Amino acid sequence: MSRRFVTIWFRYLKTDWLSRRQPSLLHTPFILAAPDHGRMLITAANIIAEKENIYPGMVVADARAILPGLQVFDDKPGLAAELLKAFAEWCIRFGPLVAVDLPDGLILDSTGCSHLWGGEAAYLTEINKRFYANGYHIRMAMADTIGTAWAVARFGKENRIIEPGGQLHALLSLPPEALRLEAGVIERLHKLGLRQVKQFITMPRSALHRRFGEHTILRIDQATGMKEEWLQPVHVVVPYQERLPCLEPIVTATGIEIALQKLLETLCNRLHKEGKGLRQARFICYRVDNKIITIEIGTNRASHHINHLFKLFEEKLSTIEPDLGIELFVLEAPKTEDLSPMQEKIWEGICSLENIRLAELIDRVANKIGATHIHRYLPDEHYWPERSIKQASSLEEKTNTAWRNDKPRPAHLLAAPEYIDVAAPLPDYPPMLFRYKGKLHIIKKADGPERIEREWWIEEGLHRDYYAVEDEEGHRYWIFRSGHYDQEKTHQWFIHGFFA
C-alpha cells in the first residue's frame, strides 16, 4: 500500500490568528512586524494588506507610505511554532501521525485514514472546512510523498489530490522553489534560466550533483518518492521498550538471565496494566565493543506471561556471546495486541484449541525449531485428494466446510503416487493382482471405482479411477488408474495409500 501525505499550508497563519482574536481587524489591512538591523521588517501581512501590494519582507516605513491607514502589531517570536503545535495536536483526529513543518505548515500522514471520511476528496474538504470555519486560510495537497504534497500545496493553484504515482507529472510545471531547495541553489537555477522543474529534473544526476550539490538530489528523490522521508510526529506512538543499563559489564549467563527477567517483569507489568499482550519481542544486548546482539521471539497469541516469555527467550539465550561484557540491555515489543485478562482465565484449564498452554507449547516449538514445522489442516472443497486439505493459518481458523466421511480415504497417503504393475480383467473392473515393491498382492475384495476428475481450471491432465482393494493377507490399499483404457494405452496404475 502506498503511503499518502497531506500538507497544509497556512497562508496567513499569524494574521488569521490575530483577526480571530480581534474580530474588528477582519476588514482592515494590518501587518505584524519585528525589528531587524535597526528597522522594522514586516513578518506577516493579512489578506487585505497583500491586496495593496504589501508583502512580508518589506520595511514597515515603505508599507506605511503605500497605505497610510495600515495597522502595525508587534510579532511575538515563536508564535508560529506555538500555533502550529496546537494545530498539529488538534489534527490528530485526521490521522495519528502529524508533524509540524515550520514556519507555516503541517504534514499529516494520512495513509489509510481518508476512507473514514468517505474518500480523499471528502477528507480534504472536511479539513478545509474545519479550518475555514475558524478563520484560517489554508491550501492543501495530498500525494504519495511529502515533497510533492508540499510543492503542490504551496505552488499549485488550488487544493489538489495527486494520484498515487503521479508525483513527477505534478512537479513538472512548478518552479524550483517547490522542491524545498537551499536559497543559494534556487538563485543559481534562476540565473541559469531554469524556471521550471521540468527543465532540469531530466538532467543527468551526476551533472545535477556537481552543480547543485547533494541536497538537491536528495530533495528531488524525496519529492518523487525514490527516497523515504521521515516525519517527526508531535505525538510519537509510545513504544513498548524497557532499558537496563549496567554499572559493570555483564559477562555471565546468569547475569543475562537476571537482566532479561527484570526487563520482562517491568514490560509485562506495563502490558498487564494497559490490557495488552505482546506478539513479538526483541532482546537487544549492547556490548562493550560496540557490537549489538539481538534475539527475537514471537508468540501465537498475545501474551504478557513472564514465565512463558522467559522460556521462549531461554532457548536462544545461549547464542549471546557476552565477550568483554554487555553494558546495556533493551527489551522491546514491536508488536502488541489487546488482551483482556478475562480471556486468560477462561482459557486456562479447558482442553481445546483456545487453551493457553497449547499456544505456549506452539510458541516454544516455533521459536526453537521454526513455525514452518507446525501444521494444522482444514478441509478444502476439492475432491482431488492432494487438494482436499489446506493448511490453517492460525489455531482459531475455521471453515464452513465439514470433514467428509462418505468416501473411503486411506489412513496413510503416499507423498506421491507410486507406479504398480497390475493385471486387470476388464475395463472398469478392479485389478486381479498387482505388484508393489517387488511383492505380489492378489486382490480378494475391492470397492470402486471412484472417479475423481482433475480440476481443469487448476491444472490439466488425466482423471483418476480409485479402487479400495484388499489382498489375501487382509492388507488394504488405495490404488488408481490414471486415464481411460483406450487404443493408445496411455493409462497407468498407481498406489496412493494404505487403509487402516
Partner 1 sequence: MQENRENIIARLQKEILPLQGLKLPAANHALQLDLGPIAEAFPNKSFPVGAIHEFISHAPEDAAATCGFIGCLTGGLMRNGGVCVWIGASRKLFPPALKGFGVDPDRIIFIDLKKDKEILWALEEALKCEGLATVVGEIPEMNFTVSRRLQLAVEQSRVTGFIHRYRPRNINTNACISRWQITSLPSALGENIPGIGFPRWDISLLKIRNGKPGAWKMEWASDILRPITPFMVAIPQEQKRKTG
State the residues that interact with partner 1 by CB under 8 A: 349-353, 355-358, 360-362, 364-365, 368-369, 373-379, 385, 388-389, 392, 395, 398, 403-405, 408-415, 444-447, 468-470, 472-477, 497-500
| Smallest gap from residue 447 Cβ to partner 1 (A) | 5
What is the smallest separation between the CB atom of 350 and partner 1, expressed in angstroms? 8
The residue (of 37 and 375) whose beta carbon lies closer to partner 1 is: 375
**Edge-to-edge strands of the sheet including 276-287?**
240-250, 326-338, 276-287, 292-303
Comparing CB distances to partner 1, the nearer of 342 and 415 is 415
Helix (H, G, I), strand (E, B) or coil at 37: coil
- Dist CA 317 CA 334 (whole Å): 19
Q: How far is the CB of 309 from partner 1 (least distance, A)?
A: 16
What's the min distance (Å) between Cβ of 355 and partner 1? Answer: 4
Name which of 7 and 299 has its Cβ closer to partner 1. Answer: 299
Task: Give 192 or 350: the residue with its C-beta nearer to partner 1.
Answer: 350
Q: From the CB of 414, what's the least distance to partner 1, in Å?
A: 7
CA distance to 44, 243, 257, 485, per residue, from 252 (Å): 64, 19, 9, 73
Q: How far is the CB of 278 from partner 1 (least distance, A)?
A: 21
Q: Which is nearer to partner 1, 185 or 353 (CB)?
A: 353
Helix (H, G, I), strand (E, B) or coil at 246: strand
Amino acid identity of residue 320, one-letter, is I
Tracing cell 508587534 back to the chain, one arrives at 74
As a whole number of Å, the CA-based R_g of the chain is: 36
| CA quadruple 189, 194, 195, 198: dihedral, nearest 10 | -120
Taking the complex as a whole, the smallest distance from the CB of residue 207 to partner 1 amounts, in Å, to: 57
Pick 206 or 352: Cβ nearer partner 1? 352
User: 143: number of CA atoms within 13 Å, CB side?
Assistant: 28
Give dist(CA 50, CA 19) in Å, integer. 15
Nearer to partner 1, 213 or 449 (CB): 449
CA distances for 127 relative to 88, 95, 108, 124, 445, angstroms: 12, 11, 11, 5, 78
Shortest distance, position 426 Cβ to partner 1, whole Å: 15
Closest CB to partner 1 among 328 and 361? 361
Q: Give residue 378's identity as a one-letter amino acid code.
A: L
Helix axes 356-368, 306-317, angle to 10 degrees: 10
- Of the chain, the end-to-end C-alpha distance in Å amounts to 50
- Residue count of the chain: 500
**Considering only CA atoms, which of 25, 26, 43 is closest in space to residue 34?**
43
CB 292, CB 285: distance < 8 Å? yes
Write down the least CB distance from residue 10 to partner 1, Å.
Answer: 58
CB-wise, 155 or 477, nearer to partner 1? 477
